[in-house]
Amino acid sequence: MDISTLTLMFTGLSLGMLHAFDADHIMAVTSLSAKRSSPRQIAFFCGRWALGHGATVLLLAILFIVFDWHLSEQASLWAERFIGVLLLSVGLFLAYRFIHPNAGLKITTHQHADGTKHTHIVEVSKPHRSHLPVSVGIVHGVAGSGPLLAVLPALIAKSSSLGILYVVLFSIGVLLSMLCFGLLLGFTQSLLYDRSETLFRYAKGILGLATALLGFVWLKGTF
C-alpha cells in the first residue's frame, strides 16, 4: 500500500471522527440519553447510534459501488426532515419533563417475607428504547451519506475495494468519537447529578430547549 493510499485511509478515519461531532448528531444522542445513567451505559448508547449510522452508510456505499445504485435526493431530503422532527420532538419532551418532573414515574409496592412493605418510585419501562439509538443512527446515515458517497467515484477509479475500505474506516472513526463522547457525557451527567439534582434537572431543561430550537431551524431549512 503506497503513501497516497495510506494518507487517503487516514483521511477517511479522521473525517469520520470529525463527522461524529456534527451538531445534529451530538444534540440527538445527548437528548435521547438525557437521564441519569452510568458513563458505560451512555457510551454504549452512543456506540449503538454509531453502528446504525455506519451500517447504513456502508450498505449505501456497497449498493453504489456494486450495483451503481444512487440514493434519490427525495429520500435524503425526507431523512433530513425526519431528523428535524426528531430533534424538535425530543427537545419538547425534555422541556415537558422539566415542567412535569414526575411524568413517566409510577409507584410500586412490594412486601418482604417478614411482612414489611416498601414503596418505590420507578421510571416506567420502555422496551423499545434499546432500538432507538440504532434507528436514529440509520436515519442519520441516510441523511448524511451524500457528501461521503460523492467521493466514491474517485476512489472506485483506483479500486472498488479501496472505496469500501474508505467507508469502513470513516465509520470506525465515527464509532470511536461517539464512544469517547458517550463516556465524557456520562461522567458529566454523573458529576452534575452528584453535585445537585436540581442542577441536573435544569441542565436537562436547557438541553431540551436548545434541541427543540435546533430541530425547528433544521426542519425549516429543509423546506
- The SS3 of residue 110 is strand
Interval 13-51: pLDDT, tens: 999 999 999 999 999 999 888 776 788 899 999 999 999
Alpha helices in the chain (DSSP H): 3-19, 23-32, 39-67, 73-99, 132-143, 145-150, 152-158, 160-195, 197-220
Triad 27, 31, 34: Cα angle to 5°: 140
Inter-residue contact 180 to 22 (CB < 8 Å):
no
Interval 122-148: pLDDT, tens: 454 454 456 888 999 999 988 877 777
What local confidence, expressed as pLDDT, does residue 99 receive? 85
Interval 144-193: pLDDT, tens: 777 777 777 767 767 788 888 888 999 999 999 999 999 999 999 888 88
- Residue 103 scores a pLDDT above 70: no
- Residue 92 scores a pLDDT above 90: yes
Q: Which class for 64: exposed (0-12), middle (13-18), buried (19 or more C-beta within 10 A)? A: buried
What local confidence, expressed as pLDDT, does residue 127 receive? 46
What local confidence, expressed as pLDDT, does residue 121 receive? 43
Domain ranges of the chain: 3-95+135-220
Pairing of strands 117-123, 105-111: antiparallel
Angle between helices 23-32 and 160-195 (to 10 degrees): 50
What local confidence, expressed as pLDDT, does residue 1 receive? 59
